[in-house]
Amino acid sequence: MRTRFILIETSHAGNVGSVARAMKVMGFDDLVLVRPRWADVLQREEALALASGADDVLARARIVPTLDEALDGVSHVCATAMTPRDFGPPTVAPRAHLAELAARLLSPAAASLGVTAADPAGQADGVAPTASVSAVPTGVAFLFGSERYGMKNEDVYRSHACLCIPTAPDYGSLNLAAAVQLIAYEWRQALGGFALPASGAPQPRAADAQAVAGLLAHWEQALVAVGFLDPAAPRKLLPRLNQLCNRAEPTEEEIHILRGVARAMLQTAAQARR
């Protein structure tokens, strides 16, 4: 499955670099620029500086004169725009739309049939059409308009969906690379996401409730010994500490630490009484 990011008439070289970085961090590397302001944008200093290690994405990026030339091998085209266009595709939230697209893509039917949306229609042989209602997308492209004007109507009309990132009603001014970052993240999440780095430390075991009760009994003695708890007027201190412990869900190691504190309090109190 091809995932392509297409920037149309981008003005700032720095944004192109930031876009490359935003893509790579989410595991995408297919970048096409349509009529960028600078013909040498992929080699410009600001682009390389902001790519910050994603210069391989810049190195393999293509520059083309028309959107048509950017769309080879792509069957599903997502415009991005803040304002819906009459006669354009439906305006949809990225999360919902990309989840649906990924579900079509990752369905067992898609994998086993090997259906491609690029199958030539029309005067082919007499094979019956497949049973699937939705064609399986072969590639998806995300289109981003220029920093100043956004997407042109004619480019939105080309698209199957118009993704609109939900923003504050009074301030929808998303930076181009920020928009690419959010879409790349949502698409990666829809495709199953990346794993979190594993912690080197072993997963701590929560102490059982019996261990917590033992801890509290130990602390009760210690708090009496240091004069904080008056057994004649306990003021619900132990139930409070019990709730605090329950919320904290201490590990076995932490129980040991806290019992060590109680032990030290008791020893100190014994010394003070001598």
- Least Å distance, CB 95 to its own copies, is 7
Residues 6 or more apart whose Cβ sits within 8 Å of residue 219: 241, 258, 262
CA distance 193 to 183: 13
- Residue 52 — left, alpha, or beta (φ > 0 → left; ψ -120 to 50 → alpha)? left
- Least Å distance, CB 101 to its own copies, is 14
Q: Which two tokens stand for residue 212?
A: 């917590």
Q: Which two tokens stand for residue 217?
A: 């009994």
**Coil/strand/helix, residue 171:** strand
Which residues in the 181-220 window bind its own copies by CB under 8 A?
A: 181-182, 185, 188-189, 193-201
CA distance 273 to 164: 72
Figure out which of the listed residues 166, 213, 217, 260 binds its own copies, where binding follows CB under 8 A.
166
Q: Does residue 86 interact with its own copies by CB under 8 A?
A: yes
Q: How many helices (H) and strands (E) does the chain have?
A: 11, 7
CA distance 237 to 239: 6
Q: Does residue 148 interact with its own copies by CB under 8 A?
A: no
Q: Does residue 83 interact with its own copies by CB under 8 A?
A: yes
Amino acid (1-letter code) at residue 107: S
Q: Does residue 246 interact with its own copies by CB under 8 A?
A: yes
Taking the CA atoms of the chain, what radius of gyration do you get in angstroms? Answer: 30
Figure out which of the listed residues 102, 136, 164, 176 binds its own copies, where binding follows CB under 8 A.
164
Q: Does residue 120 interact with its own copies by CB under 8 A?
A: no
Q: Does residue 133 interact with its own copies by CB under 8 A?
A: yes
Q: Which is closer to its own copies, CB of 17 or CB of 139?
A: 17
- Least Å distance, CB 64 to its own copies, is 26
Residues of this chain that interact with its own copies (CB under 8 A) are 18, 21-22, 24-27, 50, 52-54, 82-84, 86-87, 91-93, 95, 121-129, 133-135, 164-169, 171-175, 177-178, 181-182, 185, 188-189, 193-201, 235-237, 239-240, 243-244, 246-247
